[in-house]
Amino acid sequence: MPGRQPFTVLCQLLGRKPTATRVDLHIHTTCSDGSYTPAEIVNLAGRSGMPALAITDHDTVAGITQARLVAHDHLEVIAGVEISAHDGNRPIHLLGYFFDVADRDLATALARLQALRAERYREMVERLRHLGIAMEPMTSDVPAASSLGRRHLAERLVHAGLVSSAGEAFGRFLRDGGPAAVPFRGLAINEAIRVIQRAGGVAGWAHPPPDATLDDVRRLSELGLQALEVEFPACSPRRGRELRLWASHTGLAVTGGSDCHGPDDPRRQRGAGGVTLKEVQNLAKRAGVDTRSVSV
């Protein structure tokens, strides 16, 4: 399986000192709700000397192959995805890494999520119509490969001159609990974990919320969770240290990244967050990637 092969570029980099020593494992592209194309992300990362990165679009893996075509052997593009899930009534995002991009069961699950996203998008357009804002359910300005989300609708509102910015669109209509927002549940958390693992990958909890507890981590670990995101934009240094401690207590690997969606937010620039090369190696081992030849 491709997800089980030696982690070639990063293995070579671990034997020397690259320009950048941290790896951004949480980046979005135009294949979901980011504004950088996969090629742009790779080129920007290469210029900054980043040794590797993970494309983690929402409920799609379309950007990974595109990014790898540009990257060649200059930097490692790790297979990643951010799957929408729920734990009872609580929404939860699950990061997957080092899986087989061509896995059929994963493709089926992601296709189901993308269909649900399109249905949710249409419902939000209908809610806007009831608020006096008439828009077509779908338009050609939304990329066909995209995993549709609120950001696409916010951008359409901007382009139509109905709001001055995406921030205004969220503030007035699309924020959680807003008059046009529709919650998205996604897969049950145990199903999401299972889908990633059956594809040969490792599953991690993305940006655990402030009310997450050690007991929550323990329970998800019992369901098969293998990693915990410990560095992300809303995570304070103190909270990051706490999450690292929880990961250590529960035997989980750690992950982290910028959660980059584009150039607008300085706190979320690609490379603004990440984990060390050794931590990436540990994450890779959890997915069964061959790292026997790596010296660190």
Terminal CA-CA length for the chain: 25
Task: Calculate ∠ Cα 286-288-291, nearest 5°.
Answer: 95
What is the pLDDT at residue 144? 55
Residues 189, 197 contacting (CB under 8 angstroms): no
**Average predicted confidence (pLDDT) for the chain:** 86
Q: 191: burial class by Cβ within 10 Å (0-12, 13-18, 19+)?
A: middle
Is 230 in a helix, a strand, or coil?
Answer: strand
pLDDT in tens, 33-59: 888 999 999 988 888 778 889 999 999
pLDDT in tens, 143-178: 555 688 998 899 889 988 999 999 999 999 999 999
Question: Judging by DSSP bridges, how do beta strands 76-87 and 90-97 pair with one another?
Answer: antiparallel
d(C-alpha 265, C-alpha 248), whole Å: 31
Query: Cα dist. 57→34, 94, 182 in Å?
Result: 8, 11, 20
What is the pLDDT at residue 33? 85
pLDDT in tens, 59-74: 999 999 999 999 877 7
The CATH number corresponding to 2-101+186-286 among 3.40.50.720, 1.10.1060.10, 3.30.160.160, 3.20.20.140 equals 3.20.20.140
Q: What is the phi/psi pair of residue 216, to 5°?
A: -60, -45
Q: Is the pLDDT of residue 31 over 50?
A: yes
What is the pLDDT at residue 272? 57
- Domain segments of the chain: what residues? 2-101+186-286, 111-174
pLDDT in tens, 226-264: 999 999 999 999 999 999 999 999 999 999 999 887 666
Encoded tokens for 295: 């010296």
